[in-house]
């Protein structure tokens, strides 16, 4: 039961002046009269328990994309129902206009739509459908929360896909399918053509030149059907906020862009999310099926506040790969990485495979390095500068171990990693 504003006003504030100045018996009689009217209104209110409710929505939607939650309320009773319906969602669903007026004649059903613009990746769980039925006197009524479970999977935004067309154009140049041809790059034989000034003399095919009485060279293209293994760190390092989102979300964006590009290049892509155990794994797929599986598998991932087991991660990589491949590790490069044994564990992997470690730079740390307004800013700048020097030292140690390092801000890391993949492809190092 709930009390409406008219009944509260009658009992608390809107008492007639004649009643206030009268004897206590009169005041009590007035309050009893109001209470009796409220109880009568409640007794005459249709029970919300007899109403039916269900909710429908899309199975999945990308982050920051609009969708709609639709609630249906049916009235199988013989009484007219008036009131209010609330379609409850957790805050990150960003539901707007979730309260709907209800005017439901007997035997009919009403449909109410609630716009949603999810601001957070993962599974969003709907709350109950709250039905408030007003009494005929509008003094009170009845309210009921009807459990109507529903789950909306919010996929990664994949904002980095805007970089995909330009990288695909570069890939077509490398692969020899555009008007601009890249000479000498790659490691797979493509065709023969006449020698022109500037060609690498090591590409001259002397037997073919002898048959044609002209100097011809071999052209190469990047090898296809290579293995690309992407390891996404989901340990405590992934929980740190970089910019306005967790580091894990930035790593997922870079993973999606690289996976889409490598799949278009004809390479076999496998993605593993790992901290101490394998949290998620996508393999054996290509093209749109792989991208759909990646988005679905990575969407519910949340960082775990534990240290990553890099020795176990190296073992998982060895088990997954039987031939030389490109191994990309998306993690954080900071002093804690040395303490966790990342360098020691990844060095043997780098001797077998082409390895790239990608890390997101924190823009707040970069901004702190240039602040000099007061003493506190100077101390902060000194701490940020020391942290940056330590990161550069770790990056140098990784490079000496044969591991490429790619770093950049939250908006830069995905395209830079894609560019590094294309450079390795063009150099024939995959």
Nearest to 254 by CA among 228, 220, 218: 228
Burial degree of 40 (CB within 10 A; 0-12, 13-18, 19+) = middle
Q: Say which residues have a Cβ less than 8 Å from residue 160's Cβ, sequence separation at least 6.
A: 253, 254, 256, 257, 414, 415
Q: What is the pTM of this model?
A: 0.80
Confidence at 221, pLDDT banded by 50, 70, 90: low
CB of 75 closer than 8 Å to CB of 175: no
What token pair was written down for 430? 């995959």
Give the C-alpha separation, 153 to 122, whole Å: 6
Helices 247-264 and 287-298: crossing angle in degrees, nearest 10, is 170
Confidence at 210, pLDDT banded by 50, 70, 90: confident
Digit-coded pLDDT (tens) for 248-268: 999 999 999 999 999 999 899
Give the C-alpha separation, 184 to 201, whole Å: 10
Mean pLDDT of the chain: 85
Digit-coded pLDDT (tens) for 297-327: 999 999 999 999 999 999 999 999 988 999 9
- Of 361 and 224, the structure prediction assigns the larger pLDDT to 361
């Amino acid at each position: 039961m709930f009390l409406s504003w008219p009944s509260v006003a009658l009992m608390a504030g809107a008492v007639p002046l004649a009643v206030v100045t009268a004897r206590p018996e009169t005041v009590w009689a007035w309050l009893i009269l109001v209470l009796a009217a409220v109880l009568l209104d409640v007794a005459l209110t249709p029970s919300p328990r007899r109403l039916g409710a269900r909710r429908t929505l899309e199975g999945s939607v990308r982050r920051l994309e609009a969708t709609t939650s639709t609630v249906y309320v049916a009235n199988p009773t013989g009484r007219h129902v008036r009131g209010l319906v609330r379609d409850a969602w957790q805050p990150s669903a960003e539901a707007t206009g979730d309260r709907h007026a209800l005017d439901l004649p007997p035997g009919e059903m009403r449909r109410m739509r609630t716009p949603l613009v999810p601001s957070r990746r993962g599974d969003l769980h709907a709350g109950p459908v709250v039905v408030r039925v007003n009494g005929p006197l509008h003094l009170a009524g009845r309210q009921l929360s009807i459990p109507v479970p529903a789950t909306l999977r919010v996929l990664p935004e994949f904002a980095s896909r805007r970089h995909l067309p330009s990288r695909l154009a570069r890939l077509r140049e490398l692969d020899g399918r555009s008007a601009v041809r890249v000479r000498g790059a790659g490691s797979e034989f493509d065709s023969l053509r006449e020698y022109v000034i500037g060609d690498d003399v090591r590409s001259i095919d002397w037997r073919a030149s002898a048959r044609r009485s002209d100097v011809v060279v071999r052209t190469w293209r990047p090898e296809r059907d290579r293995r690309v293994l992407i390891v996404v760190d989901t340990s405590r390092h992934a929980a740190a906020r970089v910019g306005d989102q967790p580091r894990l979300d930035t790593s997922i964006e870079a993973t999606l862009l690289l996976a889409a590009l490598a799949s278009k290049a004809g390479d076999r892509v496998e993605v593993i999310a790992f901290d101490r155990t394998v949290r998620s794994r996508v393999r054996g797929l290509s093209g749109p099926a792989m991208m759909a599986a990646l988005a679905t598998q990575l969407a519910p991932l949340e960082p775990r506040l534990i240290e990553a087991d890099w020795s176990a991660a190296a073992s998982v990589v060895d088990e997954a790969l039987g031939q030389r491949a490109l191994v990309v590790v998306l993690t954080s490069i900071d002093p804690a990485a040395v303490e966790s044994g990342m360098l020691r564990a990844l060095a043997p992997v780098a001797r077998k495979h082409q390895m790239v470690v990608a890390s997101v730079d924190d823009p707040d740390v970069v901004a702190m390095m240039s602040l000099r307004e007061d003493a506190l800013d100077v101390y902060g700048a000194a701490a940020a500068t020391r942290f940056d020097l330590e990161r550069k030292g770790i990056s140098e140690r990784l490079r000496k171990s044969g591991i490429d390092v790619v770093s950049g801000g939250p908006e830069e890391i995905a395209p830079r990693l894609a560019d590094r993949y294309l450079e390795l492809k063009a150099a024939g190092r995959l």
